[in-house]
A and B are shown apart, each in its own frame.
Chain A
Amino acid sequence: MGTFTRVTIDFDTSHLLFPTIVSGVLALLGLAILIRDRRRIAGSAAYWRGVLARMDKMRFLGTLGLTLVYFSLMVPIGDFWPNTGLGFLICSVPFVFATGSLLSHDRDLKSLLPIAAISLTGPTFVWWLFTYPLFLTLP
């Protein structure tokens, strides 16, 4: 038992010890879940079809798409005016308006006006707050 339980850790490879154990435990647990829930997993195609069928694709994928565009454009636009946070401001105004309009159920003028007001005032206030009083870096 004495020699069987003894371990020597090589410092050069010590970064791999814990991740290897955790990976092993994760694989074992994954296997146990696979065995236990095999029927549910076998029927997962139908489950995902149901998820997709129930999903409001326009709002979900639209929000995701707008977020991707928002994140992608912020830095390239900000690079035109470095260290001013204007990339954030210029991208946030249309993003807040577009996402607000997308998530809203009504898109008449009466509903769009408050969204437009918030999309102008919200990002501008936040940009001012973080750039001047709080001195934080924005893209």
Chain B
Amino acid sequence: MFELVTPLFLSLIVGGTLVGIIFGAIPGMTATMAVAICLPITYSLGLENGLALLLGLYVGGISGGLVPAILLGIPGTPSSITTTFDGYPMSKKGEGEKALRIGICASLVGGLISLLILFLFAPTLADFAIKFSYVEKFLIIFFALTVMAALSSDMLIGIFSGILGIFVSLIGTYDISKGGNGELRLVPEGTEYWLEGGFSLLPVLIGLFGLAAILEQAEIGMPKGHGIKDIKVGKKSTFSIGIFKGQLINLLRSSGIGTFVGILPGVGGSAASILAYSNAKTFSRNPERFGEGEPAGIMASEAGNNGLTGGALVPLLSLGIPGDSTTALLIGAFTLQGIQVGPLFIGNNPDTWNAMIFAMLVANLAMFAMMYVAIRYFALVVTIPKHILFPVILMMCVIGAYTINYGIMFDVWTLLIFGLFGWLATKLRLEVAPFIIGFILGPSAEVYFVKSLESFGDVTIFFTKSWIAVVLWVLIAASIAGSIILSKKHGEATDT
């Protein structure tokens, strides 16, 4: 593995982390967007170096969100929403720098704990998943979709979005290389030339996470940026590591929650930080202080959202199911290099696996070192005007889409189509994360479903194949039942 650790490899991690922090620190720009627009750069880098860059962007992007959350009360990324609750009040009291450093330390703890869980848990899960036949693989995808829908803000809309993603992924030819018959389906007449291979994954992702975000900002009139005078880092209270005294349980619990939420497919970082924050408040001796500038609140939120980073990679690397939107984009990096992620990935690519773990470790340490030392400079990032950045980002989106299939202009139009769809989806209250995961898993779901029926010739095989199938059905039923109970409780709470 150590021959992979070259100066270029390390530079890409550090550079990626730096760019990721900048993206995370600018409200309206996310880690997902950073990964989306930097994907084309990985074409020429090779898998390990490409992943080093993308993982740096991922860790940096999630961490950078705390800067505007604390200094301006605006979450830089959705996952730092709960950081605003206590970070901004601290900032208003002149404790901005202290709050930032608390957040940075908690982010490091969350990132490292989730990395440890990834390292220990993913190979075990992958070893177990190797035994899965087409039946269990189909049920795993079905389970992932039900969990995703169950945890959506609206279960019906969540599952509709996921199934819509599957539907769109089926457009084109039934792939011969996967055992299909090579026939076209769902392709409107006259569009066969462009849609023969269906919509490519990367233009779809870049459109949904790049162009759609720019259109949303344009729609609301590009809110004016913040000037240097708005940034009050403050020197009133200095940071000391002693502030973490008595917070070990909070940090461990929040990191664990973040990692667990990351493992659940399609559930974003905002859910991780909200769950970690509400638990910290529930178990706190001073819950009344939360929301007023309580350091434990920042710790919970940041440990929770950084805990997501390792967690979201667990289902990706062991089952081939992305844990969140950003890890869905990482599938693009693997696809570019012709590598399929799934149960066999870790066993067949031990060097890549070790390089990923090492890259995540370095990214977390680099994030901590850079942000801790230069936090006053990172605070200024929030003043970068978006009207200058967005056109450049759009230009990068074009490169990403155009180069994915070595120069197909239809992929650029795909980016526009899905950019508009992403903007429209928020208006129609459709859920983008389930859509994307449905889109990614759709072709595999089809192969597993059809091949199961071809092999066994009986639909009952989905229930009787093995004890794993039975357990998966129990889990599917539990996730649906849990969702119904939760939505009923939510409805009752809203009524009263």
Contacts and interface: CB of A to CB of B under 8 A. Distances in A.
Nearest to A51: B427
Contact of B390 (A103, A134, A138): A103
B403 interface: yes
Given A5-B458, A54-B220, A130-B403, 13 more contacts: A5-B460, A14-B454, A15-B184, A18-B446, A19-B185, A33-B156, A55-B219, A68-B416, A92-B395, A95-B394, A100-B390, A105-B387, A118-B392
Interface in B189-224: 211, 214-215, 217-222, 224
Contacts of B482: none
B390 A26 contact: no
A22 interface: yes
Interface string B367-399: 000000000000000000111101110111011
Interface of B: 40-41, 43-44, 156-157, 159-160, 163-164, 166-167, 170, 173-174, 180-186, 211, 214-215, 217-222, 224, 385-388, 390-392, 394-396, 398-399, 402-403, 406-407, 409, 412-413, 416, 420, 427, 442, 445-446, 449-450, 453-454, 457-460
B471 to A, nearest CB: 21
A81 interface: no
Contacts of A95: 391, 394-395
13 contacts: A12-B183, A15-B180, A22-B163, A29-B160, A60-B215, A71-B412, A95-B394, A95-B395, A97-B391, A103-B387, A115-B387, A130-B399, A136-B403
Interface of A is mostly: helix
Residue of B157, B391, B396, B459 most packed against chain A (CB within 10 A): B391
Contact of A126 (B224, B388, B395): B395
Contact of B396 (A6, A18, A62, A126): A126
A50 to B, nearest CB: 10
Given A9-B454, A67-B394, A126 B399 contact: yes
Contact of B388 (A11, A100, A135, A137): A100
Contacts of B394: 67, 95, 99
Interface residues of A, number: 65
A16 B170 CA distance: 10
Contact of A26 (B157, B164, B459, B460): B164
Nearest to B149: A29
B249 to A, nearest CB: 42
A6 B458 contact: yes
